């Protein structure tokens, strides 16, 4: 098993939702009322900035980067 699958199996997920979106130009997205969900993303083309409430600096993400936002983020 790969390392990500190992970690996800420890979480014992009960369900999942899969979705995608295509965006360009200046935009932002904010998640509210989803504090119990873990969110996993991958940048498949271009780049973006990830800004998380409570974290001082934004992180630049490029094609091929993946990130996980734990519950409460």
How far is the CA of 8 from the CAs of 12, 16, 23, 72, in angstroms? Answer: 7, 12, 27, 17
pLDDT at site 18: 79
**Domain count of the fold of the chain:** 1
The pLDDT tens digits of the residues spanning 29-72 come to 777 666 677 888 889 899 999 988 888 999 999 999 998 887 75
Q: How high is the pLDDT of residue 11?
A: 76
Round to whole Å and give the CA distance between 36 and 70.
Answer: 8
* SS3 state at 43: coil
d(CA 64, CA 16): 22
- Is 73 a domain residue? yes
Q: pTM to 2 decimals?
A: 0.65
Domain, as residue range, for 49: 36-73
pLDDT the model gives residue 61: 93
The answer, yes or no, to whether residue 2 has pLDDT greater than 60, is yes
Q: Is residue 31 part of a domain?
A: no
């Amino acid at each position: 098993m790969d390392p990500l699958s190992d970690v996800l199996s420890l979480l014992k997920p009960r369900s999942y939702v899969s979705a995608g979106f295509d965006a360009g130009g200046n935009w932002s997205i904010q998640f509210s009322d989803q504090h119990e969900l873990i969110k996993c993303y991958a940048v498949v083309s271009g780049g973006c900035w990830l800004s998380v409430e409570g974290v001082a600096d934004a992180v630049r993400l490029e094609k091929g980067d993946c990130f996980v936002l734990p519950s409460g983020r």
